[in-house]
Amino acid sequence: MRIVKLTAESKKGILEDLLRRSPNQYGQYEAVVSEIIEKVKKDGDVAVFSYTKQFDKFDLNQDNIQVTSQEIAQAYSQLDPKLVEVIKRSAENIRDYHKKQLRNSWFDPKPDGSILGMKITPIARAGVYVPGGKAAYPSSVLMNVIPARVAGVEQIIMTTPCNREGKVNPGTLVAADIAGVDQIYKVGGAQAIAAMAYGTASIPKVDKITGPGNIFVALAKKSVYGHVSIDSIAGPSEILVLADETANPRYIAADLLSQAEHDELASAILITTSEELAKQVSDQVDIFVQELSRTEIMQKSLDNYGYILLAENMNDAIDAANEIASEHLEILTTNPFDVMTRIKNAGAIFLGEYSSEPLGDYFAGPNHILPTNGTAKFFSPLNVDDFLKKTSIISYSRQALEKVHKDIELFAESEGLTAHANSIKVRFE
């Protein structure tokens, strides 16, 4: 891996590099996606079936679009029973963690007869998109579905592409069943997003769409946002490791590659105050790249978006980490909890050498659907709140309103809204 001295200039260059990976930079695909969305919006199932035949080579129709209970049972028989048990234990950890995020409606009555409050209710129907083929990740099924289920969403549907025989990845089906999906449809790509956003004869319209996908899926979610809610426009995966001279270079190299293997656009960055550690990590990365599978993907990721940054001190390293606002941030320092208190921007933070990033991907419980491309500065991980709506409650007695009615009338009149003022005034004529 290349070793670069951390300066204001090098930091600026790296930030510009990373932002080029955003789905917002791929405008050349937007016309194709818009055409697919408009076609599905207009023709419904007919368009969905046609695009599935074109892209997935399967003759989809109303009779075979939905995954059956028999197909789910067959999926269980295709998986190693030990893996099924691991998925169940992971689901339980995720469920327990997200239950702690639940909040109750609240009401605050005052002696003058006024009541203010917040009514919290789940959305009615959530739609989860799950990639197929080589990018089928049962762990992402759990992460998308379980927070919705904990929130109390009435109906959860899932769309995922099938192969040319009409089969869906068995791991995806088992995870969906364990997480509690109500219906699964064999549709992928931008056409699946459009179907969930607008509804067809076979696929019901949802209120929110979550889940990762390729560039066409990301742009489709961006396009339908506003008509339905979405989680985010996800970019390529990324990891940033903050380390001092006490860190284990072999662990760091392994953790950097755990993200580099995702995608040629994935980013893996180490920021350290130790030149010796930087060299050791670089050497260890070279060894691992040759030993592990997906060598070509990892090497391209490192060549394009892999960096080891040498910082003068830990304060500079932390400042850079906050600017980059990485999806995953590992802290491998003498006192990781102290460093953590100074981190403002990160999707998920992993503390200490036994808290490597895949722990969060698969098992610990916190959600692995995280903000990417610097959006951790203003976005949060997927959570229970994403599936809840808040409604303000206001109730005033005559006594309570009488004390403030002239203030409200003055405020309304200052904005030229005399009907607003009158709506209050008539109650005290």
Token digits of residue 65: 């679009």
Is 30 in the active site? no
Q: Can you count the helices (H) and strands (E) in the chain? A: 17, 14
- In the residue annotation, 327 being an active-site residue is answered as yes
Q: Which residues of 351-390 are buried (b: 16+ CB within 10 A; e: fewer)?
A: bebebbbbebbbebbbbbbbbbbbbbeebebbbbebbbee
Catalytic site residue from 71, 238, 261, 327: 327
Give phi and psi for 296, each to the nearest 5: -65, -40
List Cα–Cα distances, 108 to 101, 126, 252, 404, in angstroms: 21, 31, 50, 18
Residue 220 zone, left/alpha/beta (φ > 0; ψ -120 to 50; rest): alpha
> Given 328, 330, 368, 409, which residue is catalytic?
328
Q: What is the rounded distance in angstroms from the CA atom of residue 403 to the CA atom of residue 411?
A: 15
One-letter identity of residue 346: A
Give residues with Cβ within 8 angstroms of 278, minimum separation 6: 3, 270, 272, 308, 310
Q: Where are the alpha helices (DSSP H) in 79-188?
A: 81-99, 138-151, 170-179
CA 102 to CA 385: how far, in whole Å?
8
Q: How far apart are CA 191 and CA 217, in angstroms?
A: 8
Exposed, middle or buried, 106 (CB in 10 Å: 0-12/13-18/19+)?
exposed
Catalytic residues: 327-328
